[in-house]
């Protein structure tokens, strides 16, 4: 049978099925580079097949730690010593990666498994935001052409946390592409944690690699935010040559002369558009619209390689809510859902801890106060948005976020206003369903 759903469940992977059918490869967080969280090729799951007798858990695969990252799926992988298999790849907070036979849900033996080093016990540094350990937190990304899965581990070395970037063979879990490499980075800046001589370096003890990894144009993108908002944290986006992990190709810091601005996004990966530019959203911290961009939606250059080590990740456009200071004061972080690019339109959407959904024109993000008239928001709930999905099989795109099972319809060409908007305008209306 073909595995249909993988569910995070403590220290086990629960597997559910509907029926035998060719599967769509799931190679990246949130299914695609637009981060829609939807599989439009799904035809089996419907009200007729999702019933107590036809759909449900058929197996549980034991793993060695919690699973925060999204399981990924690749069909037709040549597994060393086992032939061609359809494989689910799962990473744990104990720093282990498992290759699981997708067509043998009763099995409790992996096709292969590797451990990437000792995880960091939360008690070691008195953190309580994630318990009991931190290992592989962000969702990996798979390059089927190179036959690798890219993973970031968090380990303890000589008493200090170390982030390491790995490229593991899909066939047997062996290290590839000159990996692993310790992730280090620095930028010019005088912000919190700088060395007093104009240099700010990534402090692995104060950061988490929460967002999913992203792959575009031969570049691999790794994002970082704070660990419990403690100390001198910042937001970091670091790129590597996907063919050689020894080549770091770009570094971007959200607040090099200030503080804060995590790239967190509730674990969602950066969105990538058709020009392979990058979209991320930052959390609480400093904002000045010059070098500090907390509480902001950022459109970044694609980081195409122009030379080893050259910083070629730069801001092309951005949007910052004019009430960003109040968002800081209330801990209502902007962009907790990351970004979804709406296919076939110039819109993107993001959500916040304040429960607001924002629709923003990609071609005129407009920065801050002056852009507010072109934005569209709706009060989705009163307790915050942390994930969402979008699918476009209807005449107009529809949005749903799983925490509420609440639908919104995006109508870029309509002039219909919101039914009960938090703030209203008619350029990009969103109508509650």
Q: So where are the chain's domains?
A: 337-366+374-433
Order of strands, sheet of 389-391, starting from the edge strand that comes earlier in the sequence: 389-391, 398-401, 406-410, 430-432
Distance CA 405, CA 414 (A): 24
H/E run at residue 377: strand 376-379
261 sits in the region (left: phi over 0; alpha: psi -120 to 50; else beta) called left
The angle at the Cα of 148, spanning 252 to 146, to the nearest 5 degrees, equals: 95
Distance CA 236, CA 213 (A): 13
Distance CA 51, CA 295 (A): 43
Per-residue pLDDT of the chain (433 residues; tens, 9 = 90+): 233 333 333 466 665 544 334 578 999 999 999 999 988 888 888 888 888 888 888 889 999 999 999 999 999 999 999 999 999 999 999 999 999 999 998 899 999 999 999 999 999 988 888 999 999 999 999 999 999 999 999 999 988 999 999 999 999 999 999 999 999 999 999 999 999 999 999 999 999 999 999 999 899 999 999 998 899 999 999 999 999 999 999 999 999 999 999 999 999 999 999 999 999 999 999 999 999 999 999 999 875 644 444 557 999 999 998 888 888 888 788 878 899 998 888 889 998 887 788 888 888 888 876 555 566 777 777 777 788 888 776 555 555 554 544 556 665 543 233 333 333 333 334 433 3
3-state helix, strand, coil in the chain (%, to 5): 5, 40, 55
What 3-state class would DSSP assign to 267? helix
What 3-state class would DSSP assign to 266? helix
What 3-state class would DSSP assign to 239? strand
Is residue 144 within 8 A of residue 25, CB to CB? The reply is yes
- Locate 76 and state its tokens: 């037709």
**Is residue 102 classed exposed, middle or buried when 0-12, 13-18 and 19+ CB atoms within 10 A define those classes?**
buried
């Amino acid at each position: 049978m073909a595995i249909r759903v993988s569910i995070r469940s403590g220290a086990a992977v629960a597997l559910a099925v509907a029926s035998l059918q060719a599967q769509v490869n799931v190679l990246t967080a949130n299914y695609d580079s637009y981060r829609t969280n939807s599989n439009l090729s799904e035809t089996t799951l419907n009200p007729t097949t999702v019933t107590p007798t036809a759909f449900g858990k058929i197996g549980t695969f034991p793993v060695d730690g919690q699973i925060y990252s999204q399981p990924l799926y690749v069909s037709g992988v040549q597994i060393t010593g086992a032939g061609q298999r359809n494989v689910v790849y799962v990473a744990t907070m104990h720093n282990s990666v498992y290759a699981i036979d997708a067509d043998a849900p009763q099995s409790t033996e992996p096709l292969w498994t590797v451990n990437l080093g000792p995880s960091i016990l939360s008690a070691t540094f008195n953190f309580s935001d994630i318990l009991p350990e931190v290992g592989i937190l962000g969702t990996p990304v798979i390059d089927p052409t190179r036959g690798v899965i890219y993973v970031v581990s968090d380990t303890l070395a000589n008493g200090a946390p170390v982030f390491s970037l790995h490229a593991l063979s899909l066939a047997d879990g062996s290290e590839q592409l000159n990996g692993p490499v310790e992730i280090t980075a620095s930028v010019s800046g005088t912000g919190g944690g700088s060395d007093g001589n104009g240099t700010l370096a990534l402090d692995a003890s104060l950061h988490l690699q929460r967002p999913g990894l992203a792959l575009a144009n031969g570049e691999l993108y790794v994002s970082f935010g704070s660990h419990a908002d403690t100390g001198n944290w910042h937001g970091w986006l670091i790129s590597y040559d996907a063919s050689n992990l020894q080549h770091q190709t770009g570094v971007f810091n959200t607040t090099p002369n200030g503080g804060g601005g995590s790239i967190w996004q509730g674990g969602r990966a950066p969105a990538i558009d058709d020009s392979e530019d990058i979209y991320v959203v930052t959390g609480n911290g400093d904002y000045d619209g010059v070098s500090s961009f907390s509480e902001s939606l950022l459109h970044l250059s694609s980081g195409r390689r122009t030379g080893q080590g050259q910083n070629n990740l730069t801001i092309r456009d951005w949007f910052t809510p004019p009430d960003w200071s109040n968002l800081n004061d209330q801990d209502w972080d902007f962009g907790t859902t990351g970004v979804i690019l709406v296919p076939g339109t110039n819109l993107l959407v993001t959500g916040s801890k304040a429960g607001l959904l924002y629709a923003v024109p990609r071609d005129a993000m407009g920065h801050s106060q002056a852009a507010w008239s072109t934005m569209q928001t709706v009060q989705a709930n009163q307790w915050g948005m942390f994930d969402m999905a979008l699918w476009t099989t209807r005449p107009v795109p529809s949005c749903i976020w799983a925490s509420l099972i609440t639908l919104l319809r995006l109508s870029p060409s309509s002039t219909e206003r919101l039914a009960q908007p938090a703030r209203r305008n008619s350029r990009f209306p969103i109508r509650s369903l």
